[in-house]
Each structure stands twice: as C-alpha cells, then as structure tokens.
Amino acid sequence: MLRNAFRLHRWGLIGYGVVLFVSTYIQAAAFMQVAGTTAASRAAFARSMTTLAGQLSYILPQPFRLDTLDGYVQWRAYGPLALVVMIWAIAAAADAARGDEDKQLVDYWLAARVSRARLVASRLAAFGLASLVAAVLGGLGYVAGAARYESVSLGPVAGKTLSLWLFVLTLFALCFLVAQLIGSIRGAQAAGAGVVVVLYLLDVLGRTNHSFDGLSWLSPFKWYDATTVLAPGGNLDGAGIALSVAAIAVAGVLSALAFARRDVRGTPFALPHREVAAKDVAPSPLLAWPVARLLYRQRWIVAVWALITAAMAVYMVAIAHSVVDSAINLPGMREFLTHSSGGDPYRGFIAAFWFGIAQLLLAGFAVHLVSGWAADDTEGILTSVLSMPVHRWAVIGERAATALVGTVVVVAVGSLTAAAMAAAVGTTLDAAAVFRASWLLIPFALTYAAVGAAASADFPRAAVGVLGVLAFLSFLVYELAPLLNWPAWAANLSVQQLYGTPFLTGVFWNGLWAMVAVVVVGFGVATLLMQRREVGQ
C-alpha cells in the first residue's frame, strides 16, 4: 500500500526535488557575486538587503545574518521555496484524497481489505517520504553550491531541511483534511488553496506588523520561518517543530475520522437534499465559430491568468518606489538600476522585475493552455471533434489561434495595468518601450505554446511535463549562463534570453526570429504529428 501510494508521488518528487536542488544551489553559488568577497562589502550588502527585505516581507520572511552565505541562502532560497512547495502540497493532497477516488483506486484498495485508517496513514506516509527526499535534495543543492567557497557544517543544513520537510508535510496534512470535506478534486484544490492562502496571510500579518505576531503563530508558515538554524546564531525553533508535528498528527487523525464517516466520493456532512433546477440558458454563440469555440472553453484559463498578471503588475509597480529607494544604496544595484535605464532607477526596476515576472506568468499561462489541449485528448473530446467533419490541421490551427488571442489578452491586461499603476504612483514610463516589451511577450508565450502543441499532438499525457521541464530548463540556463560564464549560444537556448531586455535595450532581433522560428516549426510539427497519429486509444 505504501509503495503504491509513494509511486503516485514520483513525478512530484522528481519535479520538486530538482527545483529545490537547483534553487538552493543557484543562490549559494551566486552569493559571492552579489555580496562581494570582503567583510565590508558583505556588511554593506546585508544592510541594504535588510532594508530591501522590509519591502518584500509580503513574499519573503524577515532576513537574518545576510552578511553570511548561510543567512543569505536561508532568506533568498529557503524563503521563496515555501511558496513553491505549498503548491505541491495543495495539489498532492487534493489528488491523494479526491483524485484517487475519481480514478477509482480507493474502491480497489478498500475492496482489497485495506482499512480506511490505513489508507489515510499510507497516503500521509507516502507524501512524507517523497517530501523528505525532496527536502534533502534541497539541502544537497545548498551544500553543492556553498562548497565552491567554503566548508559547510551539515548540522544546520539538516535542521533547515527538517524544518522545510515538516512545513510541506503540515500543509499536505491540512489540505488532505480539507479535501475530506469537499466532494470534488477541483473543489478540494480550491478549498485547500484558500486555507493555505489564509494561513500565509496570517504569517504575513505578523511579518509586517508585530502586534499580530501572536496570531501569526497559528500559521505553519510562521513555524517554518521561526527556524533560522542555517544562519550563524540562528536556532532550531522547538515550538515550531512541535506545532508542525502536532498539526500533522491531528490533521491525520481527523482525516481518518472524516474518511471513516463519509462515502467514497462523498462528504462527511450531507447537506439537506433539495432539488435544484438547472439553468436552461441558450448556449453561447461563440461555440458556433472556429477559434472562438476553443477560446470559450478555455476562457477561465485566460481570465485567471489575466487577473493574476494584473494583480502582479499592480504589486510590482506599487512597490517600485519603496524597493528602489531601499536598494539604491547598494552599489551593484544602483549601477544595475540606473546605468541600464538611462539614469532612471524606477524605470530600471520595472524593466528588470515586472517584465521578468511577466515572462514567468506567460510561461505558466502557456503551460496551462497546453494542459487543456492535452486533456481534450486524454478525456475523449478530441475523438468527438474528429468524429465530426473537421480537418486535423484545423484542430492545430485552432489551438494556435487560441494561444495567440489568449496571449494578447493576458499581455494587454498586464501591460495596461502596469502602465496605469505607474502613472498612479507618479512613475513616468516610456510608452514605446512598454509597448515594445509587451508585444515581444507574445512570441515569447507562443514559443512555449508551440512546443506544447507539438508535444500534445503526439504525447498528450507527457505534454505538460515536457513543457514544464522546458520552462524550468529555460529559467535554469538564463540564471546559470552568466553565473558560470557560458557561451552566448548556450545562453540563447533559454527562451528568456531570446526575449532579451526590450524595455531597456530594444528588440533583440535574433532572439525574436529564433522565437518566431520555434513557433512556426512547433505548430508545423504539431500539424504533421496530428495528421499521422491515431486518436482515442
């Protein structure tokens, strides 16, 4: 049972294990370059970054000993990793509680006389094992990156690894409990995400206003932040560890009780039955038109990513002044923000950070679109479509057009929001530069969509994984190439690199043509693969 359950986490383990390893490795390896090699430069770096950290407390925990490699990695790598692994915990918990039931695995297990309590214990133990391996990989990444400069003491690394492991397992256990109460996997994902966001905000409240410090101790994010053992003088917070262990145990027991009380695919608390008349509304006229019909079916993906992009645009532009005012004292940052932006550091910040984040968001949007195409295939919708008089090339053409229109919408919403917010906070942006940097995001996103289209045309089940790996490798190359002095051709393997820095330095034409070529070839290959493949096996 445990082995079967562990197997279900293998892809999450591989993906997040690599992300954890690489994240800690990069930050450890980059420390010398950003902080300098002398004690004085590191002290100055720590002062400036501590001020900067105050502005980023919505995202990162309070820093501790940023003048040291260990303190920097604890803040810069382990801080955001909490947000990364929480996604894993939410998704894995909903899948373990509800996905297994949708796939009827739970039916088989229960029929094979596995008790419900044992089933819950096995699912918790399996994720515990997978997350432990991933957390250890994170620790190893730090050790490998730090070993370039200095010897590493393994005790503190083990302490931070333990803290990260208990954190992700706590979130999993809580989301697993929440999923017991919700009757569908999507509902469980949404409810789990809602609970985790509330817990996160509780911690943020404590970070930004110390009068809420007591309240923040309700949050596993706080328990995680409280362990600062990696930095010199930090501590392994016993209270946080104990609370995590207790929360896992309590959530596990309550999950087992809830599972024992409910039907498979049911909820423990039956609502009074009432006949709800379904709304008999006329179907959208968009369903009658090519492209519009696929766009209509994927409208929530477009809407959600447009909203996320707008929200991030508001946030990034809103904090530009305070962050820049803090960071401008850092010699390296001052040069970075002013030299490349013609002397205007706010403009430099928006260029470097907003359009950098926009790239990540659009890559996520493209992956989400492709997951919809792959699902059409695996869920039999493509079979239904191709049983109508529809050309196979038209299916790919429709996907390409949908990706184009969807990307234009997301980019337009993000860029217009950023421009409006900049005007509201009194930062003057060059309209031509914003337009240039914005429209180049379209071939950027379509590059991912084209590769995803090719993958989903022939290997729909692997398409999202392939695209996720590509996005991650692209990010990795972009980060590592300057750090490790890789040649230009290697750096240009990154889609981020091909996008360039159009807000500041104009269009990187070779990059643009390369992206256009990938788009044309990707959708072309997708058409050929779709033409020759078999559907509905």
Partner 1 sequence: MNEAIRTEGLTKDYGAGRGLFDLDLTVRAGEVFGYLGPNGAGKTTTIRQLMGLAYPTRGRASVFGLDCHRQAVEVKRHVGYVPGEPPQFGGLRGREVIAYLGAMAGGVDEAHVKSLCDRLQLDLSRRYREYSSGNKKKLLLVIAFMHRPQLLVLDEPTSGLDPLNQQEFYAMVREARQGGATVFLSSHVLSEVEHVCDRVGIIRTGRLVNISSLEELHEIRLHRVELEFAGDVPVEAIRRADGVDGVTVENHRVHCVVRGSFEPLMAAVARAHVVNLSSHEPSLEDTFLEYYSDSGKEEVAAAC
Residues that bind partner 1 (CB under 8 A): 278-284, 287-289, 293, 297, 379-381, 383-391, 532, 534-537
Instruction: Encode burial over 14-27: b for 16+ CB neighbours within 10 A, e otherwise.
Output: bbbbbbbbbbbbbb
Please check whether residue 133 is in contact with residue 13, taking contact to mean a CB–CB distance below 8 angstroms: yes
Of the pair 339, 391, the CB lying nearest partner 1 is at 391
Q: Quick one: 113 or 274, whose CB is closer to partner 1?
A: 274
Nearer to partner 1 among residue 333 and residue 457 (C-beta) = 457
Instruction: Please say whether the beta carbons of 290 and 385 come within 8 A.
Output: no
Q: Which is nearer to partner 1, 86 or 369 (CB)?
A: 369
> Which of 143, 386 has the CB closer to partner 1?
386
Min dist CB 52 to partner 1, Å, is 44
Report the nearest approach of partner 1 to the CB of residue 10 (Å): 25
Query: 485 to each of 28, 352, 479, how far by Cα in Å?
Result: 16, 20, 11
Please report how close the Cβ of residue 11 comes to partner 1 at its closest, in angstroms. Answer: 21
- When the beta carbons of 102 and 335 are compared against partner 1, the nearer one is 102
Tokens of 116: 């419900």
Can you read off the two tokens belonging to residue 115?
A: 């008790």
User: In this complex, which beta carbon is closest to partner 1, that of residue 390 or of residue 520?
Assistant: 390
d(CA 307, CA 313): 10
Question: 150 or 379: whose CB is closer to partner 1?
Answer: 379
CA gap 513, 519 in Å, rounded: 10
- Shortest CB 377 distance to partner 1, Å: 10
Residue tagged 């695996």 (tokens): 378
Whichever of 281 and 432 has its CB closer to partner 1, that residue is 281
* Residue 332: exposure state from Cβ atoms within 10 A (0-12, 13-18, ≥19): middle
| Of residues 366, 394, 387, the one with CA closest to residue 450 | 366
Distance CA 74, CA 156 (A): 11
Tell the smallest beta-carbon distance from residue 157 to partner 1 (Å): 45
Closest CB 478 distance from partner 1, rounded Å: 36
Q: How far apart are CA 508 and CA 277, in angstroms?
A: 57
Cα distance between residue 25 and residue 22, in whole Å:
5
Of the pair 395, 463, the CB lying nearest partner 1 is at 395
Task: Extract the tokens encoding 36.
Answer: 């300098």
In terms of DSSP H, where are the helices of 328-391?
Answer: 331-334, 345-349, 355-378, 381-386
Whose Cβ is closer to partner 1: residue 112's or residue 281's?
A: 281
Tell me the three state secondary structure of residue 103: coil
Distances (CA, A) of 105 to 292, 480, 512: 37, 42, 47
Q: State the nearest-atom distance from the C-beta of 408 to partner 1, in Å.
A: 23
In the structure encoding, which two tokens stand for residue 329, read together? 């004292």
Token pair for residue 135? 């957390």
Q: Tell the burial category of 195 from Cβ atoms under 10 Å away from its Cβ (0-12, 13-18, 19+).
A: middle
Provide, rounded to whole angstroms, the least separation between the CB of residue 304 and partner 1: 14
Residue 288 Cβ vs partner 1, minimum distance, rounded to whole Å: 4
Residues in CB range of 197: below 8 A, 6 or more apart? none
The position carrying tokens 């031509």 is 432
